[in-house]
């Protein structure tokens, strides 16, 4: 495995830890408020690196920030209608969307990566699929998967034109600004904002972790990792997120996965290995007497 793959695996590992952290925070704040506050904190952290960014970096960062925020928000709102398990499965369909959307951007389909993507999607399906369909929740979550697939492709295509830290900083600051505007719209009165601050104090450490480590830190490492890994391969690696989430839920929340979930997790791990496997072709050399 190259450095890019290891970095992206570490990113998904940290993303997996956010599951129990959000479960604790959601007792005090709703999903949208957690998303907005975590990126506000992340934006404050990354602002020094964004101030001197070029116009091109701000332009690309704005595009990436809007697309990424769309995926976070649609997933958070969608989970108000469907279970977290169903959301995890539907979100994982971005693994299949990335290679096919890549055709629109001039990429070539690799049978190896498509096979790995299908295997990863099947694995996440075994881990998390359940009933309880809701057309609003399902539609929003599929929109989340589509947004994130587009984000992964755009990041791979634009990261080489910028410093990784600068591009991560600009997109995070853009996401923070949009989050603040949305908070002011949804909490127009001083009393509402005061109540939000009061509720936030109870989960301050969780919000700091989500903002500083899981958002600012990991979006930066994601940008560094995708310099060395194609969008299609990165999407397969990101399918490890629900596997890590299940692991940390078992360690911290004492949740069990079951046999089907264990098989699904194993399939995702195999998909990542398949995506990284380098097939060699033996060539026979013949000589004429």
Q: What is the mean pLDDT of residues 5-10?
A: 93
With vertex at residue 92, the alpha carbon angle to CA 275 and CA 109, rounded to the nearest 5 degrees, is 45
Which pLDDT band, with edges at 50, 70 and 90, does 63 fall under?
Answer: very high
Please say if the pLDDT value at position 285 is more than 80: no
Tell me which of 110 and 226 has the higher pLDDT. Answer: 226
Mean pLDDT of the chain: 83
Residues 6 or more apart in contact with residue 229 via CB below 8 angstroms: 2, 4, 5, 8, 156, 237
Q: Where are the domains of the chain?
A: 3-276
**Integer distance in angstroms from the first to the last C-alpha of the chain?**
43
The pLDDT of residue 84: 67
Query: Which of 7, 68, 47 is CA-nearest to residue 227?
Result: 7
pTM: 0.82
Q: What are the Cα distances from residue 179, in Å, to 25, 35, 174, 222, 251? A: 18, 8, 9, 21, 32
Q: What is the pLDDT of residues 8-41, one digit of tens each?
A: 999 999 988 887 787 778 888 887 888 889 999 9
The pLDDT of residue 1: 65
The pLDDT of residue 130: 61
Tell me which of 61 and 86 has the higher pLDDT. Answer: 61
What's the DSSP call for residue 162? S
Q: What is the pLDDT of residues 224-276, one digit of tens each?
A: 999 988 888 888 888 888 788 778 777 776 666 677 777 877 887 787 777 66
Q: What is the mean pLDDT of residues 62-85?
A: 84
Q: What are the Cα distances from residue 279, in Å, to 5, 53, 113, 266? A: 17, 41, 12, 21
């Amino acid at each position: 495995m190259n450095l890019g793959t290891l970095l992206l695996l570490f990113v998904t590992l940290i993303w997996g830890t956010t599951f129990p952290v959000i479960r604790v925070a959601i007792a005090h704040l709703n999903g949208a408020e957690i998303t907005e506050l975590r990126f506000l904190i992340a934006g404050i952290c990354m602002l020094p690196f964004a101030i001197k960014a070029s116009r091109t970096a701000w332009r690309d960062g704005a595009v990436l920030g809007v697309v990424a925020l769309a995926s976070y928000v649609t997933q958070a709102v969608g989970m108000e209608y469907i279970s977290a398990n169903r959301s995890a499965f539907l979100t994982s369909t971005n693994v299949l969307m990335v290679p096919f959307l890549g055709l629109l951007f001039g990429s070539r389909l690799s049978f190896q990566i498509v096979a790995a993507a299908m295997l990863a999607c099947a694995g996440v399906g075994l881990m998390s699929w359940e009933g309880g369909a809701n057309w609003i929740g399902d539609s929003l979550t599929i929109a989340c998967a589509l947004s994130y697939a587009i984000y992964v492709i755009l990041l791979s295509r634009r990261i080489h034109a910028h410093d990784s830290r600068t591009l991560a900083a600009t997109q995070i600051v853009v996401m923070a600004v949009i989050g603040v505007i949305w908070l002011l719209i949804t909490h127009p009165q001083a009393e509402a904002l005061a109540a939000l601050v009061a509720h936030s104090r109870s989960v301050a450490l969780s919000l700091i972790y989500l903002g500083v480590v899981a958002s600012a830190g990991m979006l930066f490492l994601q940008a560094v990792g995708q310099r060395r890994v194609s969008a299609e391969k990165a999407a397969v690696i990101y399918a490890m997120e629900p596997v890590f989430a299940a692991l940390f839920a078992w360690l911290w929340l004492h949740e069990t996965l079951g046999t089907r979930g264990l098989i699904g997790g194993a399939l995702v791990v195999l998909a990542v290995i398949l995506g990284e496997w380098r097939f060699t072709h033996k060539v026979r050399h013949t000589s004429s007497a």
